[in-house]
A and B are shown apart, each in its own frame.
Chain A
Amino acid sequence: MTEGSSPARAYVLHLAVIAILVVLNFILPAYHHGLLARILVLATFAMGYNLLFGYVGLLSLGHAIFFAAGLYGAGLGVHHFELSVPVAFMAALACGAVLSLVIGLLALRTSGVAFMIVTMMFAQVLALAILYFAPLTGGDQGLVLQQQERVVHLGDTVLDLTNPMTRYMVALALFSIVLLLTLGVVRSRFGRVLIAIRENEERTRMLGYDTFANKLAAVVVSGVICAAAGSAYALLFGYVGANFASVQYSILPLLWVLLGGAATTLGPLIGTLFMYYVVDITSGYTSAYLLIVGIALILLVLFFPKGILGTIRQRWVRWLP
């Protein structure tokens, strides 16, 4: 994180991770290929969460609202308003930006436990609104997006998002952009201020920084990233459902980030990947998937508060961003 450490190493590591993910596109068996595409999108959601929770130290229990804003922004866009896929994606980002700005302005007046509860309540309002406006949103059932709604026309090129290869590469592209963006932000002056706010907000203020404005900017960047992940999820996997707005989808990114390591750039990927496969493997034996989530949360808090990459950084690889 310091400017003294060599930035090249970090970029090489991240590019290598992306390169491995590109190669996996061509060698993974179909089942894991599909799973990994989903994981990449959800890991993007987790990266958005990590920016706020890991680097600024703001624990939100309502980030499902931004994911759902993107999900429904894009999903309703192509389904009801016949927007093209790129336009729907941009519309979803705009939804995320506006929503995160409003929520940031309100929720950042509080701190600590109150911040957690307020964010959870705002997310709850959206979840209820989705159920209430069932004629538009499909309510509990959700909406299934048809294949013709998920085709991108760029000049002569046609990208069919229902094609597994295309789907994987689009998911990876989004993931890579957000990963490098996170790395850039963390190493920037803005990132330095965010970390300072996490460490000691009052001191940061007395060094002349408008901590409220910086936190607000972080909420908006985080919200837009989560909305991008949500809209990608809708467009790539063709389903828009109310459960993505539920409290559970606010808890999951927290779990993934805690597991992978808060305030590490690659932690969200590791955490999402790990958790997804643990659930996938155990669901062969038991349907009690929530039990595993619950036990994982408690064990992490008790014994492993820095997560996988956080511990690795602390013990061995100090330069890890």
Chain B
Amino acid sequence: MMPLMTTKGLSRHFGGLRAVDDVDFALMPGEIRAVIGPNGAGKTTFVSLVCGRIEPTAGMIVFDGSDITNLPAHKRVRLGIAYTFQITSIFANLSAYENVALPVQRTLTDGRSKGQVHAGVTEALERVGLANRAHIPAGQLAYGHQRLLEVAMGLALKPRLLVLDEPTQGLADSEIENFTGLVREIARDATVLIIEHNMPVVMELADRITVFEAGRILAEGTPEAIRANATVQRAYLGGGDD
């Protein structure tokens, strides 16, 4: 099977700092891939390179067989790469409805009818369980709901690759449980790349895990293999908690 997304020699240097350093990476269609690693390992920089929020210093990115290294971010989104921000980044002054209407109308290339936008918004909000809060300004939603809204915006883009950057950060345990269910549901029709610190979530969700350290891939494998990997344990799992 052909990978959905690969990177080759991907690097990003900030001055002397090699935030991402010569990374070769491949992601299979349909999998849930977790990216873990200590703070400052380059995880967010790596996914930002994939979505085009920042430009690489060297290397290339291939998505669905075509080179997207020089494609601007908004075009990558149109190809099906959606990104949800680590720091909640919603339109705080607009209603939850409007927040989701933006990505919905983006995916509607043909029909001009308002009904289609409405149906799309309702569906996305229902999937994350926010349908009854559609008309509340997003900034007034509870924090957990804001995270869900962020995911709903990603979902509404109907992505082929959904990148989730620390989605469970700041959520209560009960909310996290809900969340893992949601991610599993999303993964039925999209590939998921998730940066996550919460190890139980990672172990439960991920098909495979990639471990970053100092801008490089330290290890990669199934959750069981990663758990058993001595190097990873020394570098990360054993090295204090997060």
Point out residues on A near B: beta carbons under 8 Å. Answer: 1-4, 189, 192-193, 195-196, 199-200, 202-211
Contact = CB atoms under 8 A, between A and B. Distances in A.
B97 A2 contact: yes
B74 A193 contact: no
B221 to A, nearest CB: 30
A297 to B, nearest CB: 24
Contacts of A199: 91-94
A93 B77 CA distance: 35
Interface residues of B, number: 32
| Across the A-B interface, the 6 shortest Cβ-Cβ residue pairs | A208-B77, A199-B91, A208-B106, A207-B103, A203-B89, A189-B105
21 contacts: A2-B135, A3-B101, A3-B118, A4-B97, A4-B134, A192-B101, A192-B105, A199-B91, A199-B92, A200-B90, A202-B53, A202-B89, A203-B85, A203-B89, A205-B73, A206-B74, A206-B82, A206-B83, A207-B106, A208-B75, A210-B75
A200 B97 contact: no
B51 interface: yes
Given A196-B102, A200-B90, A209-B74, 10 more contacts: A1-B98, A2-B135, A199-B93, A200-B91, A202-B53, A206-B53, A206-B74, A206-B82, A207-B102, A208-B78
B164 to A, nearest CB: 13
Contacts of A206: 51, 53, 73-74, 77, 82-83, 85
Contacts of A195: 94
Contacts of B89: 200, 202-203
B95 interface: yes
A203 B93 CA distance: 14
Given A207-B153, A207-B157, A208-B157, A3 B117 contact: yes
Interface in B133-169: 134-135, 153, 157
Looking at A1, A189, A192, A208, the one whose CB has the most chain B CB atoms below 10 A away is: A208
Contacts of A211: 74
A202 B91 CA distance: 11
B114 interface: yes
A214 to B, nearest CB: 10
B118 to A, nearest CB: 6
A1 B135 CA distance: 11
Given A200-B89, A200-B91, A202-B89, A209 B106 contact: yes
A11 to B, nearest CB: 15
A3 B118 CA distance: 8
B51 A192 contact: no
B53 A2 contact: no
A281 B192 CA distance: 66
B91 A203 contact: yes
Contact of B114 (A3, A205, A208): A3
A202 B48 CA distance: 12
Contacts of B51: 206
Nearest to B107: A208
Given A196-B94, A199-B92, A210 B74 contact: yes
A204 B153 CA distance: 11
Nearest to A204: B102
Contact of A4 (B74, B94, B103, B135): B135
A306 to B, nearest CB: 12
Contacts of B77: 206-208
Contacts of B72: 210
A205 to B, nearest CB: 5
B118 A208 contact: no
Given A2-B97, A195-B94, A196-B94, A208 B74 contact: yes
